[in-house]
């Protein structure tokens, strides 16, 4: 593979590599080994243009998982841990492998301007918003006062305040000229220090990260790992089932991370999360739409894609989509003809469980 200039490898792991179960120590260990191997191999093989990933499914419906699905209580317990509330099928795993093997680039949803807006510290907050977002609690003030140097007290307070809103660590804003003056003034009044004390904060880069680590430990913030990604996906999925607009979903994801006290991933990683959730929502949509189709329905729908001589070589689907023309009795006749044809397909009604916005987008 290295001689060919690169390639792709997909290994088969399991969620048991990260969330173990009792009486399965041999399986948990082996799948954990696969996950560790993939991480290590990704570093070693990247220089040769070889990309290696792993699929880590949960319960997949096969004869080997029958002992889980046969017990309703056991099955219900497993389903609580699955975002889509259904067990995976072999085709789901196959699609995941195909995705990892594909060269398709994940789309960029945000423009440079939108990225800047989402990353910047707001400068036009009202007094009410300043009080709402940047008032430190008594517990937080106690943590601030543990620092000896004024600059570190001020900087620690700023770190806490920026995690309140917009929700990103101060280290990510180091390229900005300064934290907006109204925010610094509000914080200075709370900790009884002059605004000028903040200028010396962070001369040693390690201080910024040491303070974030302490804030995570003392205030309940946590870094974004796979469990946090999963929680965010569960939160976003119902919204993605209502609309396929990516930018609002990215905004909702960032708000979720902020409210749940999760240090957010980069915007690129957030875009990837939203892309995955939209794919899940799309798969769910088509699965529900096609679940009531009989084989006869599918045969009729397949026939819509066949070129027909009497339609000038066009498909019946293209004929259905064609605009009849200017309003006239002849145009109305063409519309009625199409409506009658659709009725003759005798397709099942669209399930009421699907959001109308999503269905209209498909149509």
pLDDT of residue 67 exceeding 90: no
56 and 96 co-located in one domain:
yes
Nearest Cα residue to 13 out of 30, 21, 24, 22: 30
Same domain, 76 and 46: yes
Residue 362 lies in a domain: no
DSSP type of residue 328: S
Is 250 a member of any domain? Answer: yes
For residues 241 and 180, membership in a common domain is answered with no
pLDDT for residue 301 is more than 70:
yes
Is residue 142 domain-shared with residue 161, that is, in the same domain? Answer: yes
pLDDT digit string (tens) for 72-102?
888 888 888 776 677 888 877 887 887 777 6
Confidence of residue 329 (pLDDT cuts 50, 70, 90): confident
Tell me whether residue 303 is in a domain. yes
Please check whether residue 338 is in contact with residue 221, taking contact to mean a CB–CB distance below 8 angstroms.
Answer: no
- Tens-digit pLDDT profile for residues 102-132: 655 678 899 999 998 898 888 889 999 999 9
> Which domain covers residue 19, as residue numbers?
7-101
Last residue of a domain, one of 198, 220, 242: 220
Mind giving me the DSSP string for 136-195?
PPHHHHHHHTT-SSHHHHHHHHHHHHHHHTT-S-GGGGTTSS-S-HHHHHHHHHHHT--G
**Total domains present in the chain:** 4
């Amino acid at each position: 593979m290295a001689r060919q200039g690169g390639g792709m490898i997909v290994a088969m792991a399991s969620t048991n590599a990260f969330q173990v179960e009792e009486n399965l120590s041999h399986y948990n260990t082996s799948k954990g080994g696969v996950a560790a191997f993939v991480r290590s191999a990704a570093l070693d093989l990247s220089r040769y243009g070889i990309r290696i990933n792993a699929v880590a499914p949960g319960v997949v419906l096969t004869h080997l998982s029958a002992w889980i699905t046969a017990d309703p209580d056991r099955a219900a317990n497993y389903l609580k841990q699955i975002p889509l509330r259904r067990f995976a099928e072999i085709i789901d795993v196959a699609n995941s492998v195909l995705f990892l093997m594909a060269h398709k680039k994940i789309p960029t949803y945000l423009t440079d301007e939108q990225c800047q807006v989402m990353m910047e510290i707001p400068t036009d907050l009202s007094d009410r918003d300043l009080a709402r977002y940047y008032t430190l609690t008594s517990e937080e003030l106690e943590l601030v006062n543990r620092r000896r140097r004024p600059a570190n007290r001020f900087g620690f307070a700023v770190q806490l305040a920026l995690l309140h809103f917009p929700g990103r660590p101060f280290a990510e804003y180091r390229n900005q000229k300064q934290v907006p003056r109204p925010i610094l003034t509000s914080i200075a009044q709370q900790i009884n220090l002059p605004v000028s004390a903040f200028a010396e904060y962070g001369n040693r880069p390690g201080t910024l990260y040491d303070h974030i680590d302490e804030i995570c430990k003392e205030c309940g913030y946590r870094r974004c790992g796979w469990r946090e990604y999963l929680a965010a996906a569960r939160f976003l999925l119902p919204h993605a089932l209502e609309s396929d607009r990516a930018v609002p979903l990215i905004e909702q994801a960032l708000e979720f991370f902020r409210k749940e006290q999760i240090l957010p991933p980069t915007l690129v990683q957030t875009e990837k999360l939203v892309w995955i959730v939209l794919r899940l929502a799309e798969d769910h949509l088509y699965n529900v739409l096609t679940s009531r189709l009989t084989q006869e329905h599918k045969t009729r729908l397949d026939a819509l894609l066949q070129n027909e001589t009497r339609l000038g070589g066009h498909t019946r689907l293209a004929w259905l989509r064609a605009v009849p023309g200017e309003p006239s009795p002849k145009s109305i006749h063409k519309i009625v003809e199409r409506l009658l044809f659709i009725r003759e397909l005798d397709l099942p009604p669209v399930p009421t469980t699907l959001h109308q916005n999503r269905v209209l987008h498909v149509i």
